[in-house]
């Protein structure tokens, strides 16, 4: 009985600042709880990040880390470990860039949707520090996918990007959001989503370069069509 309690409930020591070690039972609870709460209250961005954190282990984040290690840019990102914040991107500078550049399109999108790169919560529930960085980077790059593919932050836009992320990078949080998220769409939205956006996301997810290996900070001054071509991704068809 004692052995069972130890295996199932006792947790380990923290591996990096902010790390919250979880036992298997706690992890299952958090995945289920954050998935249900994320579905019930989609404005709770913290639920999706926690879902991502807790469901990435043990297999999926390691696989993504390996994909990063086998790519030259991926290795560079892992070595330098850049973080995406409004300071590191220098948003005022981005606003001065020509209209066709990725940086300018990104900052215009941020301003229009009233979001900020600073609201991403730090990774807490991933045990390995390298994998924790991969998870952090995965979350922080999300806005770039929106800007690159010209997707707004309403539910359809978010779900389309989640499908894209899942097909391209294979993390469970993408799958869970992609599979269950559409239940929140009404009939018309769901039909449109199925007809246009899922095929778009699957097609592009399969063909595109592994998105986590893109060093976004270095592509900011480039023309957006050039970036799209390099990554092998198309802008999404307009939602309306």
Partner 1 sequence: MSVRRSFNCGRLARQLGLLRPGFCGNTVSLARYNSSDSKKADESYTHFGFKHVPEDEKEYMVKNVFSSVAKKYDQMNDAMSLGIHRLWKNQFVSALNPGNSTTPMKILDVAGGTGDIAFRLLDHATQRNGDYSSKVIVADINPDMLAVGKRRAKKTPYLESGRVDFIEQNAEVLDKIPDHSIDIFTIAFGIRNCTHIDKVLEQAYRVLKPGGVFSCLEFSKVYPPLLAEVYRQYSFKFLPLLGTVIAGDSESYQYLVESIERFPDADTFASMIERAGFTLAGDRGYECLTFGVAAIHTGVKL
Q: Which residues contact partner 1 by CB under 8 A?
A: 5, 9, 11, 23, 25-26, 29-30, 33-34, 37, 42-47, 49-50, 113, 115-116, 119-121, 152-155, 158
**b/e per residue 31-67 (b: at least 16 CB within 10 A):** beebbebbbeebeeeebbbbbbbbbbbeebbeebbeb
Do residues 60 and 168 touch, judged by C-beta distance below 8 A?
no
- CB 154 to partner 1: min, Å: 5
Closest to partner 1 by CB, 37 or 196: 37
Do residues 149 and 161 touch, judged by C-beta distance below 8 A?
yes
Closest to partner 1 by CB, 17 or 98: 17
Is 6 labelled a binding residue?
no
Closest to partner 1 by CB, 161 or 233: 161
In the block, tokens 């970036």 appear at: 227
- CB 93 to partner 1: min, Å: 23
Do residues 144 and 172 touch, judged by C-beta distance below 8 A?
no
- CB 36 to partner 1: min, Å: 8
With CA atoms as reference, report the closest residue to 57 among 7, 130, 159, 158.
130
Residues with Cβ within 8 Å of residue 217, at least 6 apart in sequence? 82, 84, 88, 89
Is 158 labelled a binding residue?
yes
Is 143 labelled a binding residue?
yes
Closest to partner 1 by CB, 74 or 172: 172
- CB 207 to partner 1: min, Å: 27
Give binding residues for Zn(2+) as ranges.
142-143, 146, 158
């Amino acid at each position: 009985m004692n052995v069972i309690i130890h295996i199932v409930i006792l947790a380990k020591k923290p591996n990096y600042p902010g790390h919250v070690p979880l036992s298997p039972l706690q992890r299952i609870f958090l995945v289920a709880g954050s998935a249900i709460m994320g579905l019930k209250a989609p404005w709770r961005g913290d639920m999706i990040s926690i879902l991502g954190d807790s469901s990435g282990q043990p297999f999926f984040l390691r696989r993504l880390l390996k994909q990063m290690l086998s790519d030259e840019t991926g290795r560079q990102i892992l070595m330098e470990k850049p973080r995406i914040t409004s300071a590191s991107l220098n948003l005022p500078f981005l606003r001065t860039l020509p209209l066709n550049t990725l940086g300018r399109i990104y900052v215009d999108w941020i301003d229009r949707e009233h979001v900020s790169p600073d609201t991403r919560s730090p990774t807490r529930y991933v045990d390995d520090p390298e994998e924790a960085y991969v998870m952090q980077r995965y979350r922080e790059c999300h806005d770039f996918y929106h800007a690159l593919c010209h997707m707004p932050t309403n539910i359809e836009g978010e779900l389309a990007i989640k499908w894209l992320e899942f097909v391209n990078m294979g993390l469970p949080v993408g799958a869970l959001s992609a599979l269950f998220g559409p239940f929140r769409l009404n009939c018309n939205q769901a039909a449109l989503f199925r007809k246009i956006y899922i095929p778009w996301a699957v097609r592009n997810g399969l063909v595109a370069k592994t998105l986590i290996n893109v060093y976004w900070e270095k592509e900011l001054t480039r023309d957006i069509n050039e970036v799209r071509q390099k990554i092998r991704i198309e802008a999404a068809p307009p939602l309306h």
